[in-house]
Amino acid sequence: MLFRSKRISPAAHEEIQIDISDSLGIRKLHFGGDDTQSAMRVNDPIELVLAYTRCLFGFLLFAEPPKQALLIGLGGGSIAKWIHEKMPETHLTAVELHPQVVAVARSMFQTPADDDQFQVIVGDGAAHVYGMADDSADLIVMDAYGPSGIAEPLATSDFFSACRDRLTADGILAVNLWGSDRRFETYRERLSQVFDGRVLLLPARQKGNVMAFCFARGLNNPTWQALAARAEVLKPRYGLEFDEFVSDLARLNAHNDRKLFI
């Protein structure tokens, strides 16, 4: 099965092509080309098929489930569906630039309708963040890769600073990055500068995604052993590979210990 839609976005000034493919029980969303933006197991729509979506929830190693969360970039709705199902205490607002993406997420990827826990806004993610009150989000997730990468308004130091200011005292900004993106180091450096080095990188074992966790404040010097113990509690509760997240975090961020966890 193949579905296609094309649109010129006045805000982004770029064409978006939506392709949907079905193979071996997996439905995938593509924004043109072969790269997969979202994937859903048709007989288990809540499962997080793509590794990077599972890695996102590595933030639970450092924080309790958020009360207020913002998702920039809906895609097929994998992250939104999982939060809606697994975190009933979380109110999630998702901001998606393209109305066609929202329509496809709901008609073909079983993303739920708006309710008391979940709301989708069609609009510009950067403008939405700038319009938020300070200290109003416990978690901000930026998952806004398109055909040409991250839109520049969502990757500036000013935007990352605005995200930092909208976080509560224990808040976390999670940014989905591509390790092979030629601007990866630029993004990493901007995040590190804005968050005073309080950044951890978690690589996904699939397609080169890297999740950057950026913390509003220090974390009182948790040890890797303490994080491993927390992973053992979280793994059966949520069914995700938190033990592997800790191992990968330790491998990639051991040199950051003194800088991050003060």
Please state the rounded mean pLDDT for residues 160-170: 97
> Does the structure show a pLDDT above 70 at 4?
no
Alpha-carbon 124 to chain mean position: 16
Nearby residues of 194 by Cβ (< 8 Å), 6 or more positions away: 157, 160, 161, 164, 214
The tokens for 141 are: 């997730």
Give me the pLDDT at residue 256, please: 57
Supply φ then ψ for residue 205, to 5 degrees: -85, 45
- Residue 194 has, within 13 A of its CA and on its CB side, a CA count of 25
> Does the structure show a pLDDT above 70 at 261?
no
Residue pointed to by tokens 């989000």: 137
Give me the pLDDT at residue 149, please: 76
**Which residue out of 19, 116, 134, 143 is catalytically annotated?**
143
- Residue 95, strand partner residues: 72, 121
Three-state SS annotation for 132-170: CCCCCEEEEEECCEECCEECHHHCCHHHHHHHHHHEEEE
Catalytic residue list contains 143: yes
Give me the pLDDT at residue 131, please: 98
> Does the structure show a pLDDT above 70 at 2?
no
- 237-251 burial code (b ≥16 CB/10 A, e <16): ebebbbebbbebbee
In Å, what is the CA distance from 50 to each residue of 206, 243, 254, 257?
A: 8, 17, 26, 28
- 143-163 burial code (b ≥16 CB/10 A, e <16): bbbbeebbbebbbeeebbebb
Percentage of residues in the chain having pLDDT higher than 70: 88
> Does the structure show a pLDDT above 70 at 254?
no
Q: Tens digits of per-residue pLDDT, 175-231?
A: 999 988 899 999 999 999 999 999 999 999 776 899 999 999 987 767 888 899 999
> Does the structure show a pLDDT above 50 at 260?
no
> Does the structure show a pLDDT above 90 at 126?
yes
> Does the structure show a pLDDT above 60 at 118?
yes
- Name, of 3-17, 203-217, 227-241, the range with top average pLDDT: 227-241
CA distance 187 to 157: 9
> Does the structure show a pLDDT above 90 at 168?
yes
Q: 35 pLDDT band (50/70/90 cuts)?
A: confident
